């Protein structure tokens, strides 16, 4: 029988962040850099109203305690927090949808350093994109937690452009320890000057590299920021908008 191998984790995972989503968004992002934490949101706060649906198998529906099984899975889902990442920092739709119409930024994380510092019950999953809600099987009748993870690891196929990975854990802020997991910060072309200045001040003295998006026609490129952490000048990534 052929083996099913776990997905290969990219060398970097990217987290798009809006600085205009609330009056305190900038302060929250700076705090997350300074204090090494991620914020985990409930699935009910995601922008996809289809998030969290599932299909029970015929065997599962036929169990005498089926209603209790559904309640247990629903409760398990509500106790899981989600931190969303992408495989790329070059997705123009992601910059528009999740980084404040290019006025925000994108963090590049080292997955290994990030996961090393998170609690043991946190898990990294790569999203599957499908045309129907995930089906729950007989085994999920006695493991609501595993069922909830399965449900929150799938989305409708129209979201495939996001190339999403998720860290699933508890809800709210969660520390990933003292190790600096952020490697780079990419600023959108419309970021406010004072927002950029405050983030650069927050990373001064760290090893985090900073890049500014430059727009030219239908393409964009990245330029290293001279005021980024002291040391050798960072080399700009050789990339173009896709």
What are residue 37's DSSP bridge partners? 175
Q: Sign of torsion, CA 157 162 165 168?
A: negative
pLDDT band at 227; cut points 50, 70, 90: low
- Position of tokens 């990030």? 114
Which are the contacts of 56, defined by CB distance < 8 A and separation ≥ 6?
A: 66, 69, 70, 135, 136
* Higher-confidence position of 2 and 33: 33
Q: Residue 216 class from Cβ within 10 Å (0-12 exposed, 13-18 middle, 19+ buried)?
A: exposed
114 C-beta neighbours (distance < 10 Å), count: 23
Q: What is the percent of the chain with per-residue pLDDT over 90, rounded to a whole number? A: 79
Provide φ and ψ at 43, rounded to 5°.
Answer: -65, -25
What is the model's pLDDT at position 241?
42
pTM of the predicted protein model: 0.89
For residue range 150-196, what is the model confidence (pLDDT) as tens digits?
Answer: 999 999 999 999 999 999 999 999 999 888 999 999 999 999 999 99
3-state secondary structure 107-159: EEECHHHHHHHCCCCCEEEECEEECCCCEECHHHHCCHHHHHHHHCCEEEHHH
Asked if residue 113 has pLDDT above 90, the reply is yes
Kindly state the helix (H) or strand (E) to which residue 231 belongs, with its residue range.
none
Which are the contacts of 73, defined by CB distance < 8 A and separation ≥ 6?
A: 54, 136, 140, 144, 147, 148, 151
What are the tokens at 33? 């850099």
* Higher-confidence position of 220 and 240: 220
Asked if residue 144 has pLDDT above 50, the reply is yes
């Amino acid at each position: 029988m052929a083996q099913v191998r776990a997905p290969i984790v990219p060398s970097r995972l990217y987290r798009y962040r809006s600085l205009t989503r609330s009056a305190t968004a900038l302060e929250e992002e700076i705090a997350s850099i300074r204090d090494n934490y991620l914020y985990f949101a409930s699935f009910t706060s995601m922008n996809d109203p289809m998030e969290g649906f599932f299909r029970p198998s015929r065997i599962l529906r036929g169990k005498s305690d089926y209603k209790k099984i559904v309640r247990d899975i629903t409760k398990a889902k509500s106790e899981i927090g989600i931190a969303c990442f992408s495989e790329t920092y070059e997705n123009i739709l992601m910059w528009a949808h999740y980084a404040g119409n290019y006025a925000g930024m994108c963090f590049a994380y080292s997955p290994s350093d990030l996961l090393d510092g998170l609690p043991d019950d946190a898990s990294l999953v790569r999203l599957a994109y499908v045309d129907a809600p995930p089906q729950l099987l007989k085994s999920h009748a006695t493991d609501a937690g595993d069922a909830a993870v399965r449900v929150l690891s799938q989305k409708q196929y129209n979201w495939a452009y996001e190339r999403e990975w998720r860290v699933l854990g508890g809800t709210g802020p969660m520390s990933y320890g003292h190790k600096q997991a952020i490697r780079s910060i990419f600023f959108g072309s419309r970021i406010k000057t004072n927002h950029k200045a405050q983030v650069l001040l927050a990373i001064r003295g760290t090893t985090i590299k900073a890049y500014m998006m430059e727009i030219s026609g239908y393409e964009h490129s990245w330029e290293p920021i001279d005021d980024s952490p002291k040391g050798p000048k960072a080399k700009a990534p050789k990339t173009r908008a896709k």
